[in-house]
A = this chain, B = another copy of it.
Amino acid sequence: MDDQCYDLCTKLVSQSYIQQGKQAKLVHQKKIKHLLQHRKLPEDGWTDQTIELLLQELSVMDSNNFPDNCGVGEREARIFSSLVATRHYRFGHGIGRSGEITAIQPKAAGSSVMMKLTNSLMLDVIKISGIQSAASCFIVPMATGMSLSLCMLTFKQSRPNAKYVIWPRIDQKSCIKSMITSGFEPVVIENCIEGDELRTNLTAVIEKIEELDPDNILCVMTTTSCFAPRVPDRLEEISEICKKFDVPHLINNAYGLQCTKCTHLIQQASRKGRVDAFVQSTDKNFMVPVGGSIIAGFDAKLIESISKAYPGRASATPTMDLFITLLSMGSQKYKELLKERKENYQYLASKLSEVASKHGERLLKTHHNAISMGMSLSSIIVKEDKDVTEIGSMLFTRFVSGTRVISNSSTDSTINGLKITNFGAHCDKYNCPYLTAAASIGMTRNDVDTFVTRLDKVLKKYKSSVGSNCDVQSEEEKTTNNIPQGNT
């Protein structure tokens, strides 16, 4: 309503009350204005009302919502179902254009504003998270793996002969697939075992680069966030190597934005050496539904060229989910969540340690990994022929999700044509079997308490049944039950 509308209201309701109502409206408007002006995360989260006000204002600006619009194109963002229209706040045009995923759409000014704002907010969040020098980022409605592919395909355009990706081993299928699908050949760098930790073998990286010739190398792909006992790669040193050999450096930071250890590594790497792009998941870092990732970097031009490589427009959903979530969160709550996560990590470590020692096991010492941790299962899993992942299944049927159990049996797997020994363990043979658990954003102390209680019970039951099949489960289940285990 504009001033005239408010004036008309005073014919129905006395002026002083209308005046007060208008004042209240101005407060919302002021927040919106501030957002449009500064494009930064508001300090205090917005109420749902303010968020919906803005979404509606923007939605109204898209051509499919124009009153009396007549569409004679092949793509008019008509929406058949009102359930669908409602759940998208009547946005229909998606984001981007065939030219570029961050391009503005003439038919969708509102969607375009939302997209631009969300990318700006996200850059602010990345800086708040610890990567202060980040220069540009954009949200893309694809999983981390596909986004890594997009980055590599873009690198390829300026490195037409390159075909190898130097890749310190991380046992995630999507990671391997991102290289193979985009047509590159992963060059596996096995990790070193240092104490309990699995760490980057820098010498091997250098040797491989030299062996294959830097010109033939598309990039080095490193990983921050990962399951213990693997720890984040030695980013600083690798970035220096990349700089020295003039090889692109791509970082898989899937759920690392929530963890200052990871972000600090990226920030430092960018200062000391070369980092071309780092990619993270939206759902894992910001508690939105699966569907998007954020491609970010220190060179706005390069990031733009990646955004231009995406052919066609795309779903606005991950962008909208983040838009709503970030505005609702505000920087204060975001920082709180990061702090809580850190505390929960400590709490999880201490509680898991207790359970471990109760069962004659111990927490693995992997202090470089500040998200995931492992607990040994040395004495519990005595027979290699028993399906150790059964512990994971037992936990899952007791409504514990997210643990992984890794045996130290050594078998070969072939992932998309790539032969990997002991897949899942990040190395050919680890010291002992173990179970992992992670403290991720949004976890509560109550989650930890429930977990350790249930774990304790499961371990007791498992031990008492060794040699037999502890849970009543069919054969078919056993073969499939090892699935709910992490980032597969």
Apart from the given pairs A48-B81, A81-B328, A99-B488, 4 other A-B contacts in the complex at a CB distance below 8 Å: A1-B29, A1-B57, A81-B324, A182-B183
Residues of B within 8 A of A481 (CB): 16, 106
Query: Within the complex, which residue of B17, B146, B283, B473 is in contact with A75, where a contact is CB–CB below 8 Å?
Result: B283
| B399 engages A66 (CB within 8 Å) | yes
| B60 engages A14 (CB within 8 Å) | no
Query: Within the complex, which residue of B29, B59, B75 is in contact with A49, where a contact is CB–CB below 8 Å?
Result: B59
| A67 engages B402 (CB within 8 Å) | no
Question: Is A312 interfacial (CB-CB < 8 Å)?
Answer: yes
Residues of B within 8 A of A48 (CB): 81-83
| B181 engages A311 (CB within 8 Å) | yes
CB A172 to nearest CB in B, in angstroms, measures: 6
> Mind listing 15 A-B residue pairs with CB under 8 Å?
A5-B57, A8-B36, A12-B36, A16-B476, A20-B397, A52-B56, A68-B399, A69-B400, A76-B402, A84-B321, A94-B283, A149-B311, A153-B181, A177-B312, A292-B315
Question: Is A229 interfacial (CB-CB < 8 Å)?
Answer: no
Query: Within the complex, which residue of B4, B90, B283 is in contact with A77, where a contact is CB–CB below 8 Å?
Result: B283
Residues of B within 8 A of A476 (CB): 14-16
Question: Is A178 interfacial (CB-CB < 8 Å)?
Answer: yes
Copies of this chain: 4
A305-329 contact mask (Cβ, 8 Å, vs B): 1 or 0: 0000111111111100100110011
| B225 engages A74 (CB within 8 Å) | yes
Query: Within the complex, which residue of B23, B106, B149, B290 is in contact with A94, where a contact is CB–CB below 8 Å?
Result: B290
Per CB-CB distance, the 5 closest pairs between chain A and chain B, nearest first, are A73-B402, A21-B61, A94-B290, A291-B315, A145-B311
CB A181 to nearest CB in B, in angstroms, measures: 5
Query: Within the complex, which residue of B1, B73, B286 is in contact with A80, where a contact is CB–CB below 8 Å?
Result: B286
Query: Within the complex, which residue of B84, B116, B254, B313 is in contact with A325, where a contact is CB–CB below 8 Å?
Result: B84
Highest count of chain B CB atoms <10 Å: which of A9, A93, A281, A311 = A311
C-alpha gap A360/B476 in the complex (Å): 67
C-alpha gap A181/B72 in the complex (Å): 30
Residues of B within 8 A of A181 (CB): 150, 153-154, 309-311
Query: Within the complex, which residue of B52, B142, B174, B399 is in contact with A141, where a contact is CB–CB below 8 Å?
Result: B142
Question: Is A368 interfacial (CB-CB < 8 Å)?
Answer: no
C-alpha gap A178/B187 in the complex (Å): 27
Assuming the contacts A99-B488, A109-B9, asked whether A141 and B291 have C-beta atoms less than 8 A apart, the reply is yes
Residues of B within 8 A of A447 (CB): 70-72
C-alpha gap A454/B72 in the complex (Å): 12
Residues of B within 8 A of A49 (CB): 56, 59-60, 65, 90
CB A53 to nearest CB in B, in angstroms, measures: 6
Residues of B within 8 A of A483 (CB): 106
Residues of B within 8 A of A329 (CB): 80-81
Residues of B within 8 A of A125 (CB): none
CB A216 to nearest CB in B, in angstroms, measures: 15
Stretch at the interface among A195-203, A207-215, A377-385, A437-445: A437-445
Query: Within the complex, which residue of B25, B61, B175 is in contact with A18, where a contact is CB–CB below 8 Å?
Result: B61
Question: Is A148 interfacial (CB-CB < 8 Å)?
Answer: yes
